[in-house]
Structures are given as C-alpha cells and as structure tokens.
Amino acid sequence: MKKKWIVMPALLLLTAVAAAATMPMWRPLWEEHGPGPKLVVDSAMRKEAIDALVAKLNDHYVFPDKARQIGALLRQREREGKYDGIGDGKQLAIRLTNDLRGIARDQHMMVAFSRSAIGRDDPGQPPTSKAEWNGRAGLLQRLVVPVMAGRRVEKVDHLRPNIGYLKLSGFPPAFLMTEKFAAAMNELADTEGLIVDLRDNGGGAPESVALLVSYFVDGRTRLNDIWDRDTGITTQQWTEDKLDGKRYGGKKPVLILAGPGTKSAGEDFTYTMQAMKRATVIGQPTWGGAHPTRPHRLGAHFLALIPGRRSINPITGTNWEGSGVIPDIAAKPDDALALARELMQRRLDASASLAAAGH
C-alpha cells in the first residue's frame, strides 16, 4: 500500500476576504492573536461599531431587505439599552453576531473583536500571487500565518491498489494550491475509483474549488456563478483547460465524504460535483454556508464579516445556504469511510464484470 503525506500552506482570514471563510474556526484565531492588555469598550466605541455595522450591512449585504431588517433590530435594541454596560469587546461581538444571525441566519456573517488596533488597510483586497502574499503584513501576518499549516491536503493514499483516497482540510487560494493539487492527482492517477474525504474541511476559496473540479471533467465545464452585490456583476466560473497534474477524467467513479464539518468551499466542491452527477455524496448534511464574504472595519477594534456575494449553480439555480449539501447516501461520520470503501469496491467489481462479458 502506497502512502504519501502532502503538507501545504493555507489561510483563514484570506479566505474570508477572498471567498467563504470558516467562521467557527476564525473567531478563536482572532481572539488568540489579538495581542495587548484587556481593553474596556466604552459607550463611544459601542456606538461607533453599531453605526458602522448598520451602514456596512446596508451597503454590502447580499440581501438588502434582510440588511434593513437587521439594522432596524440593532437600532431597536440600542434604544432599549440592550448593549449598554457591555464593556467586554468579545462579549459585544458575540451579542451582535447573534443578533445578525437571528434574522439573516447566514453562517458566514459575524462580528469580531481585536484587542490590538485594526489598521484602516488591514481588511483590504486579497493578494493574487505568491509574491504579493509574501509581502503582506499586519492582520494577515498575525492571524493567518500561525494557522497556515492547518489548512492543507491532509492525506493522499491508496486504500487498495485500485481505490484512491484524498483528504482535504481546506481550499487555500489557487496560487498556493496549483502544485499541491497536481502532486496529489499525479499520485492518484492510476486508481480506478477515488474517495474524497471532506468531513473536516473548513473552507477556502472558490477558485481552488474550480481548480480541483477541473481534474474530474473531460472538457471545459461551467461551474457556479457568483453574483456580487457591490458591482451587480455575475461572474461565471469555469474549469481550467490546462492542468499541471494528470487529469482524473469524467468517467471513473468518485465518492465524497461530507458532514457538519464540511464548510463553505468544502460544500462548494461537494455541491458542484453532486449537481454535475460527477460524484456520489456519503455522510450527513453539511454546514450550510454558501455566501462568499469580505471583512469590513467597524472601528479601531471591531470587524464585521459580511457576505456580499451569492453562489448560483447553473444546474440547480440555487445553492446550499441554510440547508447544507444533502448526501445521496446517509451515514454516520464515523461509518462513512468504511461504507464508501465497500460501495466503491462493489462498483468497480460490477464494472469489471460487465467489461469481461463484453458490454
């Protein structure tokens, strides 16, 4: 049995900027890497953060009607004094996040607090090359670098000589993933069927999803469209024509393991492959966050992550927001891999029997 472990750099905040960040994992990172003494939030800081939050939602949230509803709720609770006396920035951020999600129920939306000051340029636009990535500093350095090693291709394996296994914990930007995906797919090219394990995939960038999907089709294929509220422009995503690694092709069977730990870009890959009927999904419903997100500064110590774009699948006409990706075959997370191995072997055996019979 051949085994290969591939470690690749990744990020958390950058995926929030570029695409669909993983909110449950992002919050502890912000709190852990916001250095400095305890900061007491006064009434002026609270007002600044709430005023900016209402304005940013109205300007950028993907559903303007929901933004207005959220703004009205925040103003009402502000008048009622619900935020008065909250001097702990972390607790205020949690309270505001809960209020946002109470109306929008959007998994990617949140407010975060940093004990250290947030520079005006910190949330900026994402880097698009390795050189720009290496040159970034400030917030990216504090929050992203410590966890880069945690978002990666976890494992490339041959479970049996003819069954491949690929485990991914994230989808970092495509310029960080090109060589790593190529190495993984070259290792798996000789298998007859592949199991892709996304049960603990925290998300990442749509461009990386498109790159990986490209290995599983035979020609140029349209994937999810992304509508941007700020510009009103819908951008079509397509598979890559040229790949650095060996193409797996559009015929060999693929099984995807998914569940509540499959989030954001992990859901994007799962949903897209399922909608294309290119893979069978095994497990439980996924997290349910489909709206790409950008960060917005709310003041010196608060930041909002506001979904301003919407993924639209050209086959289904919708996405997985709120519902998650519903598996084709239900299985408990701990049982999903064993079930997938058994199912894959049955499919390969049946295919071999048909070939032997001349069909």
pLDDT attached to residue 136 = 54
- Of 41, 50, 44, 93, the residue nearest 73 (C-alpha): 50
Does residue 301 lie in a domain region? no
Beta bridge partners of 110: 305
**pLDDT given for residue 7 in this prediction:** 26
Q: Which of 91, 96, 90 is nearest to 34 (CA)?
A: 90
Same domain, 112 and 235: no
Q: How many CB atoms lie within 10 A of CB 134?
A: 8
Which residue has better confidence, 300 or 17?
A: 300
Per-residue pLDDT band for 151 (boundaries 50, 70, 90) equals: low
**Residue where one domain finishes, among candidates 143, 173, 198:** 143
Token code pair at residue 41: 């939030």
Give the 3-state secondary structure of residue 104. Answer: helix
Residue 303 forms part of a structural domain: no
Within-domain flag for 302? no
Confirm whether 300 is domain-assigned. no
Q: What average pLDDT does the structure give for the chain?
A: 85
Q: What is the mean pLDDT of residues 284-308?
A: 92
- Statement to judge: residues 97 and 153 lie in one domain: no
Torsion of CA 241, 245, 250, 255, to 10 degrees: -130
Whether residue 293 is predicted with pLDDT greater than 90 in this model: the reply is: no
Tell me the CA distances in angstroms from 102 to 24, 98, 106, one per residue in order. Answer: 16, 6, 9
Residue 266 in any domain: the answer is yes
Backbone torsions φ then ψ of 198, nearest 5 degrees:
-115, 25
CA dist 315 to 93, 231, 318, Å?
38, 24, 8
Residue 285 sits in the same domain as residue 181: yes
Q: Which two tokens stand for residue 303?
A: 């930041």
Are 225 and 208 part of one and the same domain?
Answer: yes
Q: How many helices (H) and strands (E) does the chain have?
A: 11, 13
Same domain assignment for residues 186 and 316 = yes
Question: Do 207 and 340 share a domain, yes or no?
Answer: yes
Q: How many domains does the chain have?
A: 2
Both 191 and 332 in a single domain? yes
Q: What is the pTM assigned to this prediction?
A: 0.82
Query: CATH number for the domain including 247?
Result: 3.90.226.10
Examine residue 299 and state whether it is found in any structural domain, yes or no. Answer: no
- pLDDT of amino acid 148: 45
The verdict on residue 48 lying in a domain is: yes
- The token duo for 22 is 């993983």
Distance CA 217, CA 287 (A): 26
Among 143, 171, 199, identify where a domain stops: 143
Do residues 126 and 203 share a domain?
A: no
To the nearest 10°, report the CA torsion of 129, 130, 132, 136.
Answer: 130
Position 205 scores a pLDDT of: 86
Q: Which of 143, 160, 195 is the last residue of a domain?
A: 143
Q: Using one digit for the tens of pLDDT, what is the confidence trace for 214-242?
A: 999 999 999 999 999 999 999 999 999 99
Whether the Cβ atoms of residue 295 and residue 123 lie closer than 8 Å to each other: yes
Query: Does residue 34 surpass a pLDDT of 60?
Result: no
The beta strands (E) that lie in the chain are given as 3-4, 110-113, 153-160, 163-168, 193-197, 222-228, 234-238, 254-258, 280-283, 293-297, 302-307, 309-312, 329-330
Q: Does 135 lie in the same domain as 167?
A: no
Q: pLDDT band at residue 65, thresholds of 50, 70 and 90?
A: very high
State the pLDDT confidence band at 121, using cuts at 50, 70 and 90: low
Establish if 215 belongs to a structural domain. Answer: yes
* 236 token code pair: 């079509």
63 close to 104: Cβ distance less than 8 angstroms:
yes
Query: Which two three-digit tokens encode residue 181?
Result: 């995906």
* Residue 55 domain boundaries: 15-143
What would the mean pLDDT of 51-60 be, rounded to a whole number? 97
Three-state helix/strand/coil letters over 234-256: EEEEECCCCCCCCCCCCCCCEEE
The burial class, CB within 10 Å (0-12 / 13-18 / 19+), for 54 is buried
- Domain identity same for 191 and 321: yes
Same domain, 198 and 320: yes
Percentage of residues in the chain having pLDDT higher than 70: 81
What tens digit of pLDDT does each residue of 188-213 get?
999 999 999 999 999 888 899 999 99
Terminal-to-terminal C-alpha distance of the chain? 31
Q: How far apart are CA 148 and CA 172, in angstroms?
A: 9
Of the candidate ranges 30-39, 47-56, 223-232, 236-245, the one whose mean pLDDT is the lowest: 30-39
At residue 167, the pLDDT reads 98
7 and 21 part of one domain: no
